[in-house]
Structure 1
Amino acid sequence: MSSQPDHQPRRTLEVTDLQVSVGDHLVAVQDVSFTIGRGESVGLVGESGSGKTLTCRAVLGLLPATGHVDRGRIVLGDGADTVELTDAKRGTWDRVRGLRLGAVFQDPTSYLNPSLTVGHQLAEQLRVKRRLSRRDAHARSVELFAEVGLRDPAGVFHQYPHQLSGGMLQRVLIAIAVSCEPELLIADEATTALDVVIQAEILGLLRRLRETHQLSLLLVTHDLAVVAETCERILVMYGGQIVESGPTEEVLRSPRHPYTQALMGVATIGNWQRRKLDVIPGQPPAAGAEMPGCRFAPRCAYASARCVAGAVPLTDLGHERSARCVLVDDLSAPSVQEVSA
């Protein structure tokens, strides 16, 4: 007797050749491709202005008024559950946001209505998206507040945003984001404004929710230490392009792009208290800046005429690794152990 086929989607999200422009044809994101598998956690890392947030907002259909996708594809799900999000209409987004896509951002106060209790805002999501009754939405809201680690969840239900701390508000936002059991949760700098203790608690919460809700996670951050602790795979972004990708442990052990290597020098990974943290010289390119060749070349210790002679492709290195560097086969990068020594 033949076994039943596995109907579980193997792919949660696939982004192919994404290009995003802002304003007067300023290309801010270019040639971005990646896939997130079901239940997988992926870290998107880079300095401010690297294009991380624009990439996520393109996936969520929340680009600024002056932003638009020039080319590429954004596909959610796999098989019969596939939804094309590129140029999706409002009806599609109504069926996807909240239900299949959840999001948590850096400043929860910007995404919560100060005139409504946090419980009302969560319950309203459940009533609209899941069509629960008022009583069931209230009960489920209290359960979710307990699940994300809020003390006295029944009491928190009746509180307003200004009555809660930053860490509590971030937990409320996470509860709202996972309330409808989405396939993918996008956390964009969700722990940046929190102190290190609360940050560790939120990261632990995200890991636990991944397991209990079978979530895929796209974690956006500038901090390699956060990715090292949370994500199975890493995408390193610079100047609107992905410059390196691969399994997190392997990339951090042996980075194959000078920018990743430079990030390792400023990251609090390993026994960082025994070494002096480096500084990456110069500034990232302005969004939309036209640059021949490698965009990191002006700040790179290895730069030569080869680096600016023409566009540098993303080279497949095998074993799910890739890097965008003309020296990719020659670069000798320090490992985590060497950096930490």
Structure 2
Amino acid sequence: MATRRPAVPQPETTGSTLGVTDLRVSVAHGQTAVRDVSFDIAPGESVGLVGESGSGKTLTCRAVLGLLPGGVRVEAGRVELGEGPTAVELTGAGRRTWNQVRGTRLAAVFQDPASYLNPSLTIGHQVDEQLRVRGGLARAEARTRTLELLLEVGIHDAATVYHQYPFQLSGGMLQRVLIAIAVSLNPDLLIADEATTALDTVVQAEILDLVGRLRRSHRLSLLLVTHDLAVVAESCDRVLVMYGGEIVESGPTEQVLNDPQHPYTQALMRVASIGDWSRRTLETIAGQPPAPGEELPGCRFAPRCPLAAAECTAAPVPVVELGDQRAARCVKVAVPA
């Protein structure tokens, strides 16, 4: 059985911070790497996106952020930030639109913080720059706000760190700085793509606690990308399980982790770092996930699935709605009466 920390206050479920509909991303030569991905995130909600390396998690996030690498493009679908009169369609958006929403309504934190900070500029200068250029603050106002942000993300000696350079800080401290920059202009949505993967266990827990506090204080929506189900169990209201470029299962975190319906989710649970270790040995999932762009008939997990039958590869497998916000992409899932 999966375990979780005490639940955070439930988010308001009215409205949508992010809506992704039938997203399809292609790589070189038109090969499809992400196919028919749909999900939404409510205001203040935390959603986990999990799966093995190569499952399409990062491509999905970079499509939402408009940061796909060269040769990769959104082939179909919609990505909409917000709804109603303030909604912004991000699919095919131009530079002006991206400049208006990145940092202000949409922010991101990635895995290696040192790669996203300028080694030749002080920490204070880099946080100030966001506040002055994007936030319109005067120099003195920006400095005051920067010190407040550094304290807010748990950097206690903020006045000293303000004048230091990235090489003088640890990985955990640098990640806190990036989070400070990300939330500095109170965005609606924060995307954290493997933001704690390179950190040790203690620092990882501290960063996750920090993100949880910021969610509540800033009323942030969060899309947390990870391969670690234990992180999702502690931090997310809902979970999306991704395999081979498709979402194969989704639903409230406790329900999905305690009663997984898709064979891939069940396999992930058997190899996950959560549960009762005294009653089982470490397992692996046999075989390899499909390469990005590789086309397979029917279920993309079928070549590795112990339950696979002829019907699994006969035709594309649709998503089965299971009720209570749950869904799974499997022919063997029982359809509710």
Normalising by structure 2, report the TM-score: 0.94
Cα deviations by residue, 1:63-85 (Å, 9 ceiling, x for unpaired): 00111100000000011110000
8 Å Cα contact 1:9-1:79 kept in structure 2: no
Q: State the secondary structure of the residue aligned to 2:154.
A: coil
Q: Which residue of 2 aligns with 1:31?
A: 36
Of 132, 139, 143, the match for 1:138:
143
**Stretch of structure 1 that moved more, 273-282 or 176-185:** 273-282
Q: State the secondary structure of the residue aligned to 1:15.
A: strand
Report how many aligned residue pairs link the two structures: 323
Q: State the secondary structure of the residue aligned to 2:173.
A: helix
Within 2, Cα distance between the matches of 1:14 and 1:66? 25
Structure 2 unaligned runs (5+)?
1-12
Per-residue deviation, 1:277: 2.1
Within 2, Cα distance between the matches of 1:50 and 1:269? 21
Cα deviations by residue, 1:161-202 (Å, 9 ceiling, x for unpaired): 111000000000100000000000000000000010000000
Within 1, Cα distance between the matches of 2:323 and 2:277? 30
Q: State the secondary structure of the residue aligned to 1:11.
A: coil
Cα deviations by residue, 1:116-159 (Å, 9 ceiling, x for unpaired): 11111110000011100011111101110000001201111111
Per-residue deviation, 1:318: 1.1
Within 1, Cα distance between the matches of 2:151 and 2:323? 43
Cα deviations by residue, 1:15-60 (Å, 9 ceiling, x for unpaired): 0000001121121100100000000000000000000000000000
8 Å Cα contact 1:184-1:216 kept in structure 2: yes
Q: Which residue of 1 aligns with 2:236?
A: 231
Of 13, 21, 24, the match for 2:26:
21
The 5 A counterparts of 1:130-209 are 130-209=135-214
* 1:277 is aligned to 2:276: no
Normalising by structure 1, report the TM-score: 0.93
Runs of 4+ aligned structure 1 residues displaced above 4 Å come to: none
Per-residue deviation, 1:273: 4.8
Cα deviations by residue, 1:282-320 (Å, 9 ceiling, x for unpaired): 111100001111011111110111111110011111110
Q: CA RMSD in A?
A: 1.1
Of 84, 87, 98, the match for 1:79:
84
The 5 A counterparts of 1:299-310 are 299-310=304-315
Q: State the secondary structure of the residue aligned to 1:142.
A: helix
**Stretch of structure 1 that moved more, 116-125 or 183-192:** 116-125
**How high is the sequence identity, in percent, across the aligned residues?**
68
8 Å Cα contact 1:9-1:81 kept in structure 2: no
Per-residue deviation, 1:9: 7.0
Of 233, 250, 257, the match for 1:252:
257
Q: State the secondary structure of the residue aligned to 1:210.
A: helix
Measured at CA, do residues 110 and 246 of structure 1 come closer, stay the same or move farther in structure 2, by a change above 3 Å?
A: same
Per-residue deviation, 1:276: 1.3
Within 2, Cα distance between the matches of 1:150 and 1:295? 45
